[in-house]
Copies of this chain bind each other. A is one copy, B any other.
């Protein structure tokens, strides 16, 4: 265990070291970088995170991160609110928005079903999705989860939940290689995979079950 010359530096290192993929050496490098900045910059850095969790809201319709009660996508009349694209988190919304190929709205689950990480259906915004569909204004669901086992499991769970409503449920085309994370896909592949989406039932046969 390294000995830090200052309790405050140690606290700052521990704060950074809790971030994913950041060890104590990297954390210390971050802290030393901040110490080389002027006081106002470092203060601002701290203030952003002091406000972050407190002031941030989630859209009450799609549960995307938002500065307001309803996000800018859910509140515009320029989108087709009858098409709902189901994604894992805000990064996927950003990635899809960046393709400029999608005119519908979103539903952000806040994760995917992952028993290994203790994440079950009740930890996700699945009930709210069902309620949204049950309310009657949704005429198509596009599943845009990562093509991993957890993504497939979540797809299937939601597909079964929505079956009774008799609306088409599709998944984005498997142009994205199996096992890849959605957020790292290039814009053209991702954009095309939305345009060429296929009915969810057809994804069974292509994988042999």
Contact = CB atoms under 8 A, between A and B. Distances in A.
Interface of A: 2-9, 11-12, 15, 18-22, 25-26, 28-35, 37-39, 42-56, 64-67, 71-73, 89-91, 93-94, 97-98, 183-184
Given A15-B48, A46-B46, 13 more contacts: A3-B94, A5-B73, A6-B65, A6-B66, A12-B52, A34-B52, A37-B53, A42-B52, A42-B54, A45-B49, A46-B50, A46-B52, A50-B50
B49 A49 contact: yes
Identical chains in the assembly: 2
Contacts of A28: 91, 94
A34 B19 CA distance: 8
Contacts of A184: 25
The interface residues of chain A, by DSSP majority, are classed as helix
| Leading 3 A-B pairs by shortest Cβ distance | A46-B50, A46-B49, A42-B53
